[in-house]
Structure 1
Amino acid sequence: MSQTTFQRTRRSPEQWQRLLEEHAASGLTQTAFCQSKSLSIASFQNWKRKLGKVEDEPPSWVELGTLDQAAESAWDVELDLGNGICLRLRRC
């Protein structure tokens, strides 16, 4: 089995993001895509992990539903904002 060597090329995170998007649209396996673009599969997978974390972030807004259903009862909502800051809302 022959081993393919790749010329080292520095790419920005934006360039890697574009390559990842190209791969997703290509329908090719990672190996086939990397071979077609002369990319190291290890570098490709490393950047996919790094940049994939952005996709895994929670949405900036989460719908919790209405609290009107609990209008007759008391409720407490506590949100830990980090750095020792805590937001507490209470309906008695």
Structure 2
Amino acid sequence: MRKHRTSEQWQALVDQQHDSGLSATQFCKQQDIGYASFCNWRKRLSDQPAGEAPGSDDASFLDLSSLMDASSSSGAGWNIVLSLGNGVELRLSQNG
């Protein structure tokens, strides 16, 4: 029967493999884990930005008021690009 694991469980397995000193192939055989699944999850988890927990859905905010204050004094507008993944971007601009 196939076992479904959460991203946190996969992260724990990736960490265990790293700490074990075993190759991924050896570790997967020892733990009875599919090698391809392990490699896919290891890549997926390593692609996450630092400090972001796997599967984290918590919202975070960035105070942009300092950008608006700086742009009004210098006369230069601001341009903000928010990359949402899968090639989707949100672009905010202000003209002088």
- Same fold flag (TM > 0.5): yes
CA 1:28–1:84: 2 relative to 1, 3 Å:
same
Question: Which residues of structure 1 form unaligned runs of 5+?
Answer: 1-6, 60-75
Matches within 5 A, 1:27-42: 27-42=21-36
Alignment of 1:45-60 (within 5 A): 45-54=39-48, 57=49
Counterpart residue number, 1:25 = 19
Q: CA deviation at 1:52?
A: 1.3
TM-score by length of 2: 0.55
In the TM superposition, structure 1's runs of 4+ consecutive aligned residues that sit over 6 Å from their partners are none
Q: 1:15 aligns to what?
A: 9
Deviations 1:16-74 (A, max 9, x none): 000001011111000100011110101101111111111xx378xxxxxxxxxxxxxxx
Q: Is 2:81–2:91's contact at 8 Å kept on the other side of the alignment? A: yes
| TM-score (normalizing by structure 1) | 0.57
Which residue is equivalent to 1:81?
81
| Structure with bigger gyration radius | 1
Give the distance between the partners of 2:42 and 2:36, measured in 1 at CA: 10
Cα RMSD for the two superposed structures: 2.7
Identity of aligned residues (%): 30
Give the whole-Å Cα distance in 1 for the aligned partners of 2:5 and 2:50. 27
Q: Which amino acid aligns with 1:84?
A: R
Distance 2:50 2:15 in 1: 20
- Separation of aligned partners in 1, 2:80 and 2:41: 31
